[in-house]
Amino acid sequence: MTKAAPKSIGFFEKYLTLWVALCIIGGVVIGSFAGDSMEVVSKLNYAHVNIPIAILIWAMIFPMMAQIDFSSIKNAGKKPKGLILTLVINWLIKPFSMAFFAWLFFTQIYQAFISPDQALEYVAGAILLGVAPCTAMVFVWSYLTDGDPAYTLVQVSVNDLIILVAFVPLVALLFQITGVNQVVAVPYDTLLFSIFIFVVIPLVAGGIANRVLIKKHGEVWFNTQFLPKLKPISIVALLATLLLLFAFQGDIILQNPLIILLIAIPLTLQTYLIFFVTWGLGKYIKLPHAICAPAAMIGTSNFFELAVAVAIAVFGLTSPAALTTVVGVLVEVPIMLSLVALVNKWRY
């Protein structure tokens, strides 16, 4: 069978790692020269949630939620193996492997560089990433690897529904297992509030927009006119969020730039491990390429928008936990692009 030519990624998405790096540099510079102003912005909170960050994260998440058609879930039973693989990786393997890597590196290997209390906060940030499977960028990765778009939609939709009920108890369990609850009591109220404002609200708003606009203007208009206009808003919001976060973290980073590298190492190892496990299992159970590829991508990448938001709400804007989730964004894009190239090379 002739291999299909790999699809191209948009200019802005292709160089997303560069834009993220520029936002990191810009944020650190802004934080260094406008520390007092950044402190004022960081205190614009309601119920432990920073209002400017919350607005930007809504702008990131809404476009993704608007393209989800939950009526597609009724088709999940037609090809159950791919969905089962996705759910097993996302909810029974990945959260625990991420917690293990984070615990191993931050509390054991990095003992000479990080204090015990700080180490546990870095572990917490990694756990928040590991318990939040990707629901946005995975559409890009699926497209670039010739994944089945309808089945990818099913996988994402089911994961979003599971996040509503599994995120909080799984975070609480892993916080207890790794000892994070020694430095912070599990804030069930804040976790539940974060799920409500960062998942439930944009999920409901996106679902309403999807149904109303498609009914009024048609599916073709919605997919070719409305959604393309939202994508730039989502990416700009992501970059603006990173700019603010690194402005808040500027002093910490300048005092200890090595920490970025230290955080990146376990996150990178975890990402490649989950990909190879998922890809190997997918081929073992004889999934077609169009389903195996997005399954591996969903398991590998993270819903970092949610992880960032929860880390800020629970631990604060300048916390090690928040920094870990932001570094997760930095390392994810280049890693995922490398995996896209690998999947296209291994196309079957």
Q: Which range is least confidently modeled, 90-99, 164-173, 176-185, 227-236?
A: 227-236
pLDDT value of position 72 = 64
Q: pLDDT tens-digit profile of 207-222?
A: 899 889 999 999 899 9
Q: pLDDT tens-digit profile of 256-267?
A: 778 889 999 999
Q: Looking at the predicted structure, is the pLDDT value of residue 344 above 50?
A: yes
Most confident region among 19-23, 157-161, 313-317, 339-343 by mean pLDDT? 339-343
Q: Looking at the predicted structure, is the pLDDT value of residue 149 above 50?
A: yes
Mean per-residue pLDDT over the chain, rounded: 84
Distance CA(165)–CA(188), nearest Å, equals 13
pLDDT value of position 75 = 64
Q: What is the CATH number of domain 11-345?
A: 1.20.1530.20
Closest Cα to residue 303, out of 112, 134, 188, 115?
134
Q: Looking at the predicted structure, is the pLDDT value of residue 229 above 50?
A: yes
Distance CA(142)–CA(162), nearest Å, equals 21
* 247 vs 14, residue with greater confidence: 247
Q: pLDDT tens-digit profile of 52-68?
A: 878 887 887 787 778 77
Instruction: State the DSSP string of 207-227.
Output: HHHHHHHHHHH-HHHIIIIIH
Mean pLDDT score, 150-176: 87
**Helical H runs in 34-187?**
35-42, 51-66, 80-88, 94-102, 116-130, 138-144, 149-178
Q: pLDDT tens-digit profile of 117-139?
A: 899 999 999 999 999 887 767 77
Q: Which range is least confidently modeled, 89-93, 116-120, 312-316, 334-338?
A: 312-316
Mean pLDDT score, 133-153: 79
Distance CA(63)–CA(184), nearest Å, equals 33
Distance CA(289)–CA(90), nearest Å, equals 19
